[in-house]
Amino acid sequence: MQLATQGFHHVTMVAADAARTTAFYRDVLGLEMVKQAADYDDPGAHHLYFGDRDGRPGTLLTFLEWPRAPKGRPGIGGVHHTALGVETDEALLRWKRRLTDAGAHTSGPYDRGYFTSLYFRDPDGQIMEIATAGPGYAIDEPAEALGRELLLPPERIVRGHRDEAAIAALTWPEPVPEITPDMVLHGIHHVSGITDDLGRAGEFYEQALGLRMVKKTTNRDDATMLHYFWAAYDSKTIAPHSSWTLFGFQPDWNRARGGTGQTHHIAFRARDEDELRAWRDHLQSRQVPVSNVLDRTFYRSITFQAPDGQPVEISTDGPGFGPA
């Protein structure tokens, strides 16, 4: 059996205060609170689940409430940011106004070539992004041959050449008290992590998870840094909620430190428990230390680490969250 994940199942972050996190992700960002439960590994701790109305894989952001945890920071073996999707640039401007009025620090919208991006920090300092669906990865290479060559961005979108003052000044002209239909967030657009070895990481995500390289380019904010993209890709289309990107940092950069405002782990999808067990066998055959199959109530999971230390989980689509 050729194992290939369909994309992200969920991303789990650490928050200091469940009420504050709920006020932000539910009330400001408009995500559905799918579930609030005790944490499986630490029954005294809250675990919050946000996503779309049905709590579908690919839309889920979950938060462990650890009030006494130290502040985390991004670094090698950790996630830099998670992006949620919208359709249009206009929706991004509405989000910029709504987030700014809610007291969140924002930057952008930046033309990233493949999409437009607005960045902000959540109440714990976690870097988040809202990104547009298009124009997509096929603007500079054929859709059926993505990720084969290193493609450099046009200079006008690279830091040092773009008009930062003009970008900072862009916003929606009026307050945005309601989330308009075009602003509804469509789940995980991409997740971006940091590694110190793109070659080794790429081999791991390709061989162990069945993701495929879909873009080799450079960081728009640091032209000296490589930025590679992987996804669930069948040589025609890229599955929604499946883009995993890595920035190639120098090995002497700091390692990720767990804590509040930092991502705890990323989880990819398995169809069912049979497939999950096949993943486990597959990972073990590659000498990857992997957990037993864990019962996470709403899904079954296995956990392991990428070679750079990134904590990774594979979770089943079912049984799911049931009726809300």
Angle at 124 between CA 120 and CA 126, to 5 degrees: 45
Quick check: 316 binds Fe ion (CB under 5 A)? no
Say if CB 10 and CB 61 are below 8 A apart: yes
Q: Closest Cα to residue 143, out of 114, 111, 186, 112?
A: 114
Smallest distance from the beta carbon of 79 to Fe ion, in angstroms?
Answer: 11
d(CA 291, CA 167): 46
Quick check: 290 binds Fe ion (CB under 5 A)? no
Q: Indicate the residue type of 293.
A: V
Nearer to Fe ion, 12 or 106 (CB): 12
Nearer to Fe ion, 111 or 313 (CB): 313
Locate all alpha helices (DSSP H) within the chain, ordered by sequence. Answer: 18-22, 89-101, 164-169, 198-209, 273-285
Residue 114 — φ and ψ, nearest 5°? -80, -20
Nearer to Fe ion, 145 or 167 (CB): 167
* 267: β partners: 10, 313
Q: Indicate the residue type of 15.
A: A
Smallest distance from the beta carbon of 315 to Fe ion, in angstroms?
Answer: 6
Smallest distance from the beta carbon of 51 to Fe ion, in angstroms?
Answer: 13
Quick check: 192 binds Fe ion (CB under 5 A)? yes
Smallest distance from the beta carbon of 175 to Fe ion, in angstroms?
Answer: 27
Quick check: 122 binds Fe ion (CB under 5 A)? no
d(CA 249, CA 247): 6
- Using CA atoms in the order 73, 74, 80, 82, what is the torsion angle rounded to 10 degrees? -30
Smallest distance from the beta carbon of 83 to Fe ion, in angstroms?
Answer: 5
Nearer to Fe ion, 174 or 214 (CB): 214
Nearer to Fe ion, 236 or 314 (CB): 314
Which member of 14, 48, 83, 306 binds Fe ion (CB under 5 A)? 83
User: What Rg do the C-alpha atoms of the chain give, in angstroms?
Assistant: 19
Considering only 51-59, 126-134, 151-159, 172-180, which stretch makes contact with Fe ion by CB under 5 A?
A: 126-134
User: Total number of residues binding Fe ion (CB under 5 A)?
Assistant: 6
Which residues in 266-285 contact Fe ion (CB under 5 A)? 267
Does the N-terminal peptide bond of residue 109 adopt cis geometry, omega within 30 degrees of 0?
yes
Considering only 34-42, 120-128, 189-197, 304-312, which stretch makes contact with Fe ion by CB under 5 A?
A: 189-197
d(CA 306, CA 205): 8
Quick check: 12 binds Fe ion (CB under 5 A)? yes
Quick check: 111 binds Fe ion (CB under 5 A)? no
Considering only 46-54, 76-84, 224-232, 233-241, which stretch makes contact with Fe ion by CB under 5 A?
A: 76-84
Q: Closest Cα to residue 56, out of 234, 324, 323, 321?
A: 321
Nearer to Fe ion, 81 or 98 (CB): 81
d(CA 260, CA 67): 8
Quick check: 129 binds Fe ion (CB under 5 A)? yes
Nearer to Fe ion, 106 or 192 (CB): 192
Which member of 108, 202, 313, 321 binds Fe ion (CB under 5 A)? 313
Q: Write out the residues near Fe ion by the rule CB under 5 A.
A: 12, 83, 129, 192, 267, 313
